[in-house]
A and B are shown apart, each in its own frame.
Chain A
């Protein structure tokens, strides 16, 4: 596996007006084949980060570097090159395709835009791409409303890989799909990753999906990274109380559910750890000082003042 860093994000901050959605986030994505998962619930900032990365939404501070080159200040031809290198697959297959354009036009838009193939070869390439994502060639002339949700998602994937990107941002790509369809799309992602040496940034609230595709994972809470590290470590032995809560909250087949105590939620406090008001291990220091990311063993890091206690609690269950 290549150790070269493809995308490096440092100190990223994104705000909606006065309200900050992302507070100084750092992470990096390695050259493919590789998968980085970004896990968090609604309001965690994960979708905002995806949009900022794709330059679909302005960042208020921080840097994003692709191959060392700052992405946020690009214009013109270099920006076009960036757009070819990093593509995105959206969550809702019903909304991600122009309802008035045939499949071939939707996929062809990128091909034409970046002159990936000469005009004459466009049709052939579209068919190739369709086959690569598991769709029959005759679907090229169909309209989105003539396809199922899973098929539409495959078209979205074909559109993204048409420009031959090195990295794909996957924004909850299977959340809107039925579970059997989801499984097949995840298989497709696995196959494409190896065949095209892709780097994935997979954004999901579903820990199991992340576990399947990503070697590394980052856990977000209220716009901050609270834990990160190898997926097997973070999901198998979560060090941060929030990750533990997430992990416990995920229902698993065949595993009887432990009784969970419901904790009412409110707005995070101004100072200190944003998770303090929900944390079962909260102490005085937590309310006063914002914790930094600290090693938690197994290659993982967690932003918590009481990592050792948290790990002990987890092991005892």
Chain B
């Protein structure tokens, strides 16, 4: 469903992110792991065609189904973003317009993509229920819901548009452990039920280990390792991956 080839993002002469190959099938969750400065977030933006706003040059191919996103004009990209690609970002409340009630935001977004009034309202309710949120919350403003609820709302929005590809950039980093667990369970459910493909970006190897069937490890803009999650985490071939795995604090690994 999503095929990335030879993706390079440059700021001036410097390549800040380089992904030679990345494939995502429907219903699959692939992880992009790395620390700050690894280029993973930039790669994520590139996949959505957003790097031009940073003043960066992007080369390569990002194939979503039959279209190459990097070759599209802005107007065409806008139609695809939201409809076929949905994004869930790190700070849930920062990505929601604080002046709009959640229901209004939902409604507007759906209408923007040509969905009729009645249909929009119906989808709003079903999507909220699907993410286990009380549809009543649609009457609230973003600052009146918790971080976890806001994050689930973003996912609900993605679902309502039946996006085939969901990009999640550190969606759980700002959340408590129990809330994080809820979001993770939800993402898994969504991909299973609807066949949405998820690209999950995180510095938290443990969460990636839980959620993703395959992953890429990035460092300083380059991919240092990739493959099946279980294999990579159990037997990392790159020394950096080994360092990352060793650094993850574990419960019960120490005495007293």
Contact = CB atoms under 8 A, between A and B. Distances in A.
Interface stretch (B24-32, B79-87, B113-121, B201-209): B201-209
B249 A253 contact: no
Interface string A58-90: 000000000000000000000000000000000
Contacts of B251: 207-208, 211, 235, 247, 250, 252
Contacts of A260: 181-182, 185
A179 B252 contact: no
Interface in B191-244: 203-207, 209-211, 233-234, 243-244
Interface stretch (A109-117, A134-142, A180-188, A291-299): A180-188
B253 interface: yes
Nearest to B254: A212
B178 interface: yes
Interface residues of B, number: 42
A169 B40 CA distance: 34
A261 to B, nearest CB: 8
Contacts of B176: 41-42, 205
Contact of B256 (A208, A231, A249, A252): A231
A127 interface: no
Contact of B146 (A205, A231, A245, A265): A265
Nearest to A212: B254
A179 B209 contact: no
B45 interface: no
A43 to B, nearest CB: 9
A208 B246 CA distance: 13
Chain B interface helix/strand/loop/mixed: helix
Contacts of B36: 149, 178
A254 B233 contact: yes
Contacts of A212: 249, 253-254
B203 A178 contact: yes
B177 interface: yes
Given A207-B251, A232-B256, A235-B252, A252 B206 contact: yes
Given A249-B177, A262-B182, 10 more contacts: A41-B176, A180-B247, A212-B254, A246-B178, A249-B178, A249-B180, A251-B204, A253-B250, A260-B181, A262-B186
10 contacts: A179-B203, A179-B248, A180-B244, A182-B249, A206-B249, A215-B256, A231-B256, A235-B251, A250-B177, A264-B133
Interface of B: 35-36, 132-134, 146-148, 176-182, 184-186, 203-207, 209-211, 233-234, 243-256
Interface of A: 41-42, 149, 178-183, 186, 205-209, 211-212, 215, 230-232, 235-236, 245-254, 256-257, 259-262, 264-265
